[in-house]
Structure 1
Amino acid sequence: MAVIDRIDERLLQLLIEDGRRTFSDMAADVGLSVGAVKRRVDRLCEEGIITGFTAQIDHTKLGWGVEAFTEVRFAGRTRIADIIDVSMNLAEVQAVYTIAGDPDALVHLRVRDMNHLQDVIDGLRRTGQVTGTKTLIVLGRWLRPSLPQAQRRSHTPSG
């Protein structure tokens, strides 16, 4: 587990809020020089804590307004790699989460409309490896663009 301090946490929070934020802006916020902030962000990237920078897209404006999660069940001896391959062969799949228990995977879908959703689910079922599905349609989404609160331990000297 990587060790980060409060300044690193603040830099991460600033980048979560706006990945295009400048080093100058972040430096002013945390009270460091621009060079020091750049070195810290570079280190966070090198250590794999920051894995990339991305844009947030309003998919409804692009015609992909329906979002759903489909629980997918596979035959008992299906390999994890096969579960991922079956799902990722469909362009509408945004992510695949393999999970413990029943079901085997949770597939995040984004489609144009209900007919399109039905076609995608039929596509999953026709692979021959899927034994069952259950689909949940997203009505709304609220995201928390922040880091989880760090658990701070207070150390009491023994004695």
Structure 2
Amino acid sequence: MDNLDRGIIDLLRQNARASYGDIGGSVGLSASAVKRRVDRLVADGVIRGFTIQVDPTVDGYNTEAYVELFCRGTVAPDELLRILSGVPEVVDAGTVTGSADAIVHMRARSIPALEDALERVRIAPNVDHTRSAIVLSRLIHRTHD
């Protein structure tokens, strides 16, 4: 991957619907050269797909929280994945260093719906307790996928 590929990817991150001609004009290539590079980046697995991002508040998912998850003993990441995959309100999660075992980002339609989702996480056999912080206002949101 070279700087031209990185430039193409940066432009696609900003607008996945940009035309090959528009991208080519920005990076100094013809539309056909951009298409060949994008096709190669897809074939090589560098670009995994093209998606849309919908504002979750439009779907009514206005309540969000970050939840620290504390487990009993040692719990494998695969087990945490199994627990969290069954809760659709979980939109992002990862194991972390520190006293918590994982950080979970949740979105729900209301506080009662969030509380219900948290309870589904808390009743898992390996979960000891959680600590939640409800988001009051989102200040910065970047995607780097």
TM-score (ref. length: structure 1): 0.83
- Residue correspondences, number: 144
Is there any run of 5+ residues in structure 1 with no aligned partner, and where? 148-159
Q: 2:125 aligns with which of 119, 123, 128?
A: 128
Give me the whole-angstrom Cα distance separating, in 2, the residues matched to 1:49 and 1:80: 25
Amino acid aligned to 1:23: Y
Q: How does 1:100-139 map to 2 (within 5 A)?
A: 100-138=97-135, 139=137
Q: Go from structure 1 to structure 2 and tell me whether the alpha carbon gap of 1:53 and 1:124 turns closer, same or farther (over 3 Å shift).
A: same
Q: How does 1:1-159 map to 2 (within 5 A)?
A: 4-138=1-135, 139-144=137-142
Q: 4+ runs of 1 displaced by more than 3 Å?
A: 144-147
The secondary structure found in structure 2 opposite 1:35 is helix
Give me the whole-angstrom Cα distance separating, in 1, the residues matched to 2:89 and 2:134: 14
Q: Report the structure number with the largest CA radius of gyration.
A: 1
CA drift at 1:53: 1.4
CA drift at 1:141: 3.9
Q: Go from structure 1 to structure 2 and tell me whether the alpha carbon gap of 1:146 and 1:70 turns closer, same or farther (over 3 Å shift).
A: closer
CA drift at 1:107: 1.1
The secondary structure found in structure 2 opposite 1:135 is strand
Give me the whole-angstrom Cα distance separating, in 1, the residues matched to 2:48 and 2:100: 29
TM-score (ref. length: structure 2): 0.90
